[in-house]
Amino acid sequence: MFTRTNMIDATPDRVFAVLTDLGRAQQWMPSIQKIDPLTSGPFVIGTSWRETRAAGKRTLESMVRVTALEPPTRLGLEVDSKPMKGHLEFRLTPRGGGTEIQYEAEMRGKGLFRLMSGAMNRMMAETDDDLLDRLKGQVERR
């Protein structure tokens, strides 16, 4: 598991709106190549989509499902792909006119990939090391 924390100069409502806007996700997560919604209607627990992202020289397709939704303080996501499954969580706390955001992620390999769970988490931590900086830039530009 890895955790990152950052401060964003915006209200939790504004940060949460960007986090849950799938149409703008590629603007601050450039590894996402495509998002295909699997459910329709409002963004609620159970909302799911297929996400295609660049993973080094390969592409990785994952199913993503909202597992926790407490606007504007918590968003939990389950990620399921062929080699791995995991949980991502964003927690937002108002701090002095801005928002402190904490991001936690834990991935587990499936089948033989279980042996590589540690390496997967390290690779994801490296890839997502600046995720909150990119989110901060997107929110504060808005």
pLDDT, tens digit, for every residue of 72-87?
A: 999 999 999 988 899 9
Q: Could you tell me the pLDDT band of residue 96, with boundaries at 50, 70 and 90?
A: very high
Domain with 125, as residue range(s), is: 2-141
Q: What is the pLDDT of residue 58?
A: 83
**What confidence score (pLDDT) does residue 16 get?**
98
Count of domains forming the chain: 1
Q: Whose structure tokens read 């928002």?
A: 99
Please answer whether residues 142 and 28 qualify as being in contact, where contact means their C-beta atoms are separated by less than 8 angstroms.
Answer: no
| pLDDT for res 43 | 96
Q: Specify the CATH number for the domain of residue 41.
A: 3.30.530.20
Interatomic CA distance for residues 105 and 39, integer angstroms: 24
